[in-house]
Amino acid sequence: MTILDHGGFLPSIVLVAGVAGFLRVVRNSLWQVALFSLPGTVAHELSHFIVGAVTLAHPQRVSLWPRRSAGHWILGFVTFRNLNVLNGAFVALAPLLLLPVAVMLFSHVLLPLWVERQWLWWAIGGYVTATFVLACLPSFQDIAMGARSILFYLVLVVAPLLALHYLR
């Protein structure tokens, strides 16, 4: 039996999509977006912090205090002392690691809760899963922070592949 055959698959997809849609709608209100997005914001910033620590970027400051900047909300940030071309891409793209976590939450938490008819916990799990799905995307600030490093690794991978292709 695959995950698609599971009886709770479609209702859980609808739940996560509905919560994600709700979270996108409340983006215009500071207190609503900050409150409702908190689990995802914590996970997003924690991913930057952990990957930064592992790659020796030396995280310095973490903030989960939301603020408005240039027409959009910044829900949190992490600053680094040693962000460079070697570790910047990993730190910037760290939130992508939340996607497998969201998939695990979906398949190992939501679906069993549906089968067990634990509706309140199922709804809470759907909310947390949705916040993780939304939080797994690196922000524009994240991409800008790691742009040189991302470009470095793209060149490092693409150049040899192009060389192999044209030298055949």
Dihedral of CA atoms 68, 70, 73, 74 in degrees, nearest 10, equals -90
pLDDT band at 93 (very low <50, low <70, confident <90, very high): very high
Dihedral of CA atoms 101, 103, 106, 112 in degrees, nearest 10, equals -90
Its pTM surpasses 0.75: yes
Residue 3 has pLDDT above 70, yes or no: no
Quote the pLDDT of residue 26: 79
Quote the pLDDT of residue 163: 86
Quote the pLDDT of residue 109: 93
CB neighbour list of residue 33: distance below 8 Å, 6 or more residues apart:
23, 26, 27, 66, 73, 75
pLDDT digits (tens, 9 = 90+) for 13-27: 999 999 998 888 877
Specify whether the CB–CB gap between 39 and 128 falls below 8 A. yes
pLDDT band at 165 (very low <50, low <70, confident <90, very high): confident
Specify whether the CB–CB gap between 66 and 44 falls below 8 A. no
Report d(CA 43, CA 45) in Å as an integer: 6
Q: Structurally, how many domains does the chain consist of? A: 1
pLDDT digits (tens, 9 = 90+) for 27-83: 777 777 778 889 999 999 999 999 999 999 999 999 998 887 777 778 899 999 999
Containing structural domain, residue 9 = 3-166
Q: What is the mean pLDDT of the chain?
A: 90
Residue 9 has pLDDT above 90, yes or no: no
Report d(CA 142, CA 147) in Å as an integer: 8
Structure tokens at 122: 């199922």
Residue 4 has pLDDT above 70, yes or no: no
Specify whether the CB–CB gap between 131 and 101 falls below 8 A. no
Give percent above pLDDT 70 in the chain.
Answer: 96
**Exposed/middle/buried for residue 75 (C-beta within 10 Å: 0-12, 13-18, 19+):** buried
List the single range of 69-78, 94-103, 143-152 with lowest mean pLDDT: 69-78
Closest by Cα among 60, 33, 62, 52 to 146:
52
Give 11's Cβ-side CA count (13 Å radius): 14
